[in-house]
A and B are shown apart, each in its own frame.
Chain A
Amino acid sequence: MTAPSPASEPRTDVARALKHAAIAGLVSFGMLLPLIGFRTIQDMRNELVLETRPLLLASFVLLTIAGSLLVSLVLVPWKQRRAAAHIPGESVRRAHWRAHVAKWLVPFALGFVVLYPVIVLLGTGFGGAVKWIDNFGIQILIYVMLGWGLNIVVGLAGLLDLGYVAFYAVGAYSYALLAKEFGLSFWILLPLAGTLSAFWGILLGFPVLRLRGDYLAIVTLAFGEIIRLILINWVDFTGGYAGVSGIPRPTFFGIPFNANDDGFAAVFGLEFTPLYRTIFLYYVILGLALLTAFVTVRLRRLPVGRAWEALREDEIACRSLGLNTTNTKLTAFAMGAMFGGFAGSFFAARQGFISPESFTFMESAIILAIVVLGGMGSMIGVAIAAVAMIGGTEIMRELEFLKLIFGQDFEPTQYRMLLFGLAMVLIMIWKPRGLISTREPSAFLKERKTVAATFVEEGRG
């Protein structure tokens, strides 16, 4: 092939970019015409009528064209230049820098989460602290814990589970119903709920042991949905759509968080505020999440954890080495389910109210997304993904100032899941193996070397 003359090259590039942009504009016009160009609304007589939004449509099409031009004229050449200008030793330097960051990241993050309520109190005072500790701190930690629990099943054992929320639900309903029925305390019911969830994990794990890959994913999805539908329809037991309300809240070793004389504030001579309960709950979920992390780190260095990872790498080789793959899979399901159950009973205790609405397939998808986006098997990656995805969507609630730009009708919260879905797609395209895709070996002879992502299998189970 002859090299094109330097003078003509940019022009053809621009011409091609313009052509692509025109096609993109046309496609987006066609696609968006019915859904953006028109809006179906109900008129006074409750009949559907159409409203047109030509300006909105035009701006979307123009945005598409601009985006397409940006990609082909700026992003692609930039990538090519970067690929061409390969600096020797850069990857080494980068790895070095990364190792440096990794060394300090964990202690720093730990310190931060332990001090988080204090930092929030200093930052916002008593007024705004509940929101920041509850909506951000507790909410994110619940998902970190769920992500770490599912990480055992998906990330370590390589078993694709799309129905994880079922165990979250089992934990939540176990706590809610047992606490209401028998008045048992949170600390007694927590291990009980975890055990029940683990039991369900084994129960649902048994029939699906032989299935692989996407089939396993779909069956677990079906199980998750079946459990949710039973929660909806078995009204006598679960309260159906209405759910369970008035769930006893956890106490501070027997001292309730209320405004009474025997309440937490009165006992410790403080002024009553709901903040104490929030802070207490924050440290409970932090403790549970750290327990999950501790147990998982330990398990990875034990035969059972190594067997999980070996199972992900090659199931047939496992069997040839005398590993009981049935038990290995079931323990992974049970451990994952148990942590899901812990998180579930915490969730019920924190909310005081649960209903099937909280345990939809969307929750399973979000948890799985956190695991895969974080990098399967990497606990730090999963935590980062949980912070980014859950924190990111929660922050959408706080963007009230956008109303000043887009007008008072603009409701930023309704874009939360829209952006969540979009972020899932974009992160997968950017990093298909997740944010942290390397693997830390569980044992070493001379030095601990990180295993590059290209060697690590994703599991066929």
Chain B
Amino acid sequence: MIPDAILRVEHLTMRFGGLVAVHDLSFAARRGEITALIGPNGAGKTTVFNCITGFYKPTEGRIALNRGGPSLWNELDALTASSVRSRKGPGGSLYLLERMSDYLVTMDARVARTFQNIRLFRGMTVLENLLVAQHNKLMIASGFTLFGILGLPVYARAESAAIERAAAWLEKIGLIDRADDPAGDLPYGAQRRLEIARAMCTDPVLLCLDEPAAGLNPRESTELNELLLSIRDETDTSVLLIEHDMSVVMQISDHVVVLDYGVKISDGSREDVRNDPKVIAAYLGVEEDEVEAVASEVGL
């Protein structure tokens, strides 16, 4: 067990009718690292994400998020035994994500996510997208709309702070000049970056990215890597990402978990995983003992 983990997934199983999408999966993501969840198409990666972010309720298993020190993990079993979904105290907070519905995962536990098929508010401007992400904060500042309707300055101040924060992110992702254009008008790569910036505007402790590099050209891919590394190094946000493109993962991930047919087949540093015959077998779609033969054939 990793003591300084931010997220622990334990014995996660997800069934859809008779289909087992994820089977008895356990892994952990370290605080301040980029963890990659990889595997071939249909391995169950997005299902894991949907369980973590509350869009699906897992059939079995535990998903715990730690917003405190390593010692907080000692209280996990007590929390599980209770009927509540989180424990908040001076030492930090501990959450059982499988007990929380989608929006609470982001609002309370502070886990944000992006989507494989980009889900921006296409008819709203780039800036508005980032303001919607700061909804909960602004909602409180607007006195749950009451102060806002009355036009009190407390809301105006909060809003300009929110716009400033949005502008800072736009500067970072290189979209400041397009702040007032509709999000649907941006090129594909820019939409990907905007979706990440939008997720970051919710102040997450854990950012879950569903295939962030899909469809990007090599230059955009490099920009994305830089963005993710800067999120890891400059903010308090840890990153969990899904990829099936190994080359991207291998450049930036600190820790890699490999999934095939809903089962974990490898877990470790990127070097460990790169050399794991089980992983190569899964990606080539052959049995483990055939790997060498096939690899020499294709010149790996």
User: CB-defined interface of A437-461 with B at 8 Å, one 1/0 digit per residue?
Assistant: 0010111111111011011110000
Judge whether A36 is part of the interface by a CB distance below 8 angstroms. no
Of B17-25, B178-186, B230-238, B266-274, the segment with at least 4 beta carbons within 8 Å of chain A is: B178-186
Q: Shortest CB–CB separation between residue A438 and chain B, in angstroms?
A: 10
Judge whether B113 is part of the interface by a CB distance below 8 angstroms. yes
Given contacts A307-B135, A320-B115, A321-B202, contact A445 B182 (CB under 8 A): no
Within 8 A of A (CB), among B177-222: 179-185, 198-199, 202
User: CB-defined interface of B109-138 with A at 8 Å, one 1/0 digit per residue?
Assistant: 000111100011111110110011101101
Of B29-37, B144-152, B246-254, B257-265, the segment with at least 4 beta carbons within 8 Å of chain A is: B144-152
Judge whether A258 is part of the interface by a CB distance below 8 angstroms. no
Given contacts A317-B121, A445-B180, contact A323 B148 (CB under 8 A): no
Of A17-25, A296-304, A348-356, the segment with at least 4 beta carbons within 8 Å of chain B is: A296-304
Of A178-186, A202-210, A308-316, A366-374, the segment with at least 4 beta carbons within 8 Å of chain B is: A308-316
Given contacts A321-B112, A448-B180, A449-B181, contact A303 B103 (CB under 8 A): no
Closest residue of chain B to A453, judged by CB?
A: B123
Q: Are B180 and A447 in contact (CB under 8 A)?
A: yes
Closest residue of chain B to A451, judged by CB?
A: B182
Given contacts A302-B142, A445-B127, contact A317 B180 (CB under 8 A): no
Closest residue of chain B to A320, judged by CB?
A: B113
Judge whether B223 is part of the interface by a CB distance below 8 angstroms. no
Task: Report the bound CA distance from A307 to B133 in whole Å.
Answer: 9
Q: Are A322 and B123 in contact (CB under 8 A)?
A: no
Partner of A322, one of B107, B114, B170: B107
Q: Are A304 and B145 in contact (CB under 8 A)?
A: yes
Task: Report the bound CA distance from A310 to B142 in whole Å.
Answer: 18
Given contacts A303-B139, A320-B119, A444-B125, contact A455 B145 (CB under 8 A): no
Q: Are B124 and A302 in contact (CB under 8 A)?
A: no
Given contacts A306-B128, A320-B112, A322-B106, contact A445 B167 (CB under 8 A): yes
Task: Report the bound CA distance from A306 to B127 in whole Å.
Answer: 12
Q: Shortest CB–CB separation between residue B286 and chain A, in angstroms?
A: 37
Q: Are B182 and A298 in contact (CB under 8 A)?
A: no
Give chain B residues whose Cβ lies under 8 Å from the Cβ of A439: 123-124
Q: Are B106 and A309 in contact (CB under 8 A)?
A: no
Q: Are A298 and B155 in contact (CB under 8 A)?
A: no
Task: Report the bound CA distance from A441 to B114 in whole Å.
Answer: 23
Task: Report the bound CA distance from A454 to B182 in whole Å.
Answer: 10
Q: Are A306 and B135 in contact (CB under 8 A)?
A: yes
Q: Are A320 and B106 in contact (CB under 8 A)?
A: yes
Task: Report the bound CA distance from A442 to B102 in whole Å.
Answer: 26
Partner of A444, one of B103, B127, B170, B198: B127
Judge whether A288 is part of the interface by a CB distance below 8 angstroms. no
Given contacts A310-B121, A324-B107, contact A446 B128 (CB under 8 A): no
Partner of A313, one of B103, B123, B133, B149: B123
Judge whether B53 is part of the interface by a CB distance below 8 angstroms. yes
Q: Are A455 and B123 in contact (CB under 8 A)?
A: yes
Q: Which of A324, A447, A451 has the most CB of B within 10 A?
A: A451
Q: Which of A299, A322, A324, A442 has the most CB of B within 10 A?
A: A322
Judge whether B159 is part of the interface by a CB distance below 8 angstroms. yes
Given contacts A303-B138, A441-B124, contact A320 B132 (CB under 8 A): no
Give chain B residues whose Cβ lies under 8 Å from the Cβ of A445: 127, 163, 166-167, 170, 176, 179-180
Give chain B residues whose Cβ lies under 8 Å from the Cβ of A444: 125, 127, 179-180
Q: Are A320 and B53 in contact (CB under 8 A)?
A: yes
Task: Report the bound CA distance from A295 to B166 in whole Å.
Answer: 26
Task: Report the bound CA distance from A42 to B133 in whole Å.
Answer: 67
Q: Are B180 and A321 in contact (CB under 8 A)?
A: no
Task: Report the bound CA distance from A304 to B143 in whole Å.
Answer: 11
Judge whether A96 is part of the interface by a CB distance below 8 angstroms. no
Task: Report the bound CA distance from A161 to B103 in whole Å.
Answer: 25
Closest residue of chain B to A458, judged by CB?
A: B123
Task: Report the bound CA distance from A302 to B154 in whole Å.
Answer: 13
Task: Report the bound CA distance from A92 to B102 in whole Å.
Answer: 44
Judge whether A319 is part of the interface by a CB distance below 8 angstroms. yes
Task: Report the bound CA distance from A67 to B103 in whole Å.
Answer: 56
Task: Report the bound CA distance from A448 to B104 in whole Å.
Answer: 33
Task: Report the bound CA distance from A248 to B43 in whole Å.
Answer: 70
Task: Report the bound CA distance from A321 to B114 in whole Å.
Answer: 9
Partner of A321, one of B106, B142, B183: B106
User: CB-defined interface of A20-51 with B at 8 Å, one 1/0 digit per residue?
Assistant: 00000000000000000000000000000000
Q: Are A321 and B133 in contact (CB under 8 A)?
A: yes
Closest residue of chain B to A441, judged by CB?
A: B125
Task: Report the bound CA distance from A301 to B114 in whole Å.
Answer: 25
Q: Are A323 and B122 in contact (CB under 8 A)?
A: no
Judge whether A360 is part of the interface by a CB distance below 8 angstroms. no
Task: Report the bound CA distance from A103 to B165 in whole Å.
Answer: 31
Task: Report the bound CA distance from A321 to B53 in whole Å.
Answer: 10
Task: Report the bound CA distance from A444 to B139 in whole Å.
Answer: 19
Q: Are A307 and B180 in contact (CB under 8 A)?
A: no
Q: Are A313 and B145 in contact (CB under 8 A)?
A: no
Task: Report the bound CA distance from A310 to B132 in whole Å.
Answer: 7
Q: Which of A307, A320, A325 has the most CB of B within 10 A?
A: A320
Give chain B residues whose Cβ lies under 8 Å from the Cβ of A331: 145
Partner of A303, one of B114, B142, B180: B142
Task: Report the bound CA distance from A310 to B107 in whole Å.
Answer: 16
Within 8 A of B (CB), among A255-270: none
Q: Are A442 and B180 in contact (CB under 8 A)?
A: no
Task: Report the bound CA distance from A80 to B198 in whole Å.
Answer: 44
Q: Shortest CB–CB separation between residue B238 and chain A, in angstroms?
A: 17
| A residues with CB within 8 A of B | 295, 298-299, 301-304, 306-307, 309-310, 312-314, 316-325, 331, 439, 441-449, 451-452, 454-457
Cβ contacts A to B, 25 pairs, < 8 Å: A298-B148, A299-B145, A301-B148, A309-B123, A310-B121, A310-B124, A313-B121, A313-B122, A314-B120, A316-B115, A317-B121, A319-B55, A319-B103, A320-B106, A321-B133, A321-B199, A323-B103, A324-B107, A331-B145, A441-B127, A443-B159, A445-B179, A446-B179, A451-B125, A455-B182
Extra 8 A-B pairs, beta carbons < 8 Å, given A304-B145, A314-B120: A298-B148, A302-B138, A313-B122, A314-B119, A321-B106, A321-B132, A454-B184, A455-B122
Closest 10 pairs (CB-CB, A-B): A322-B106, A456-B123, A322-B107, A313-B121, A455-B184, A317-B119, A445-B179, A302-B148, A303-B138, A319-B102
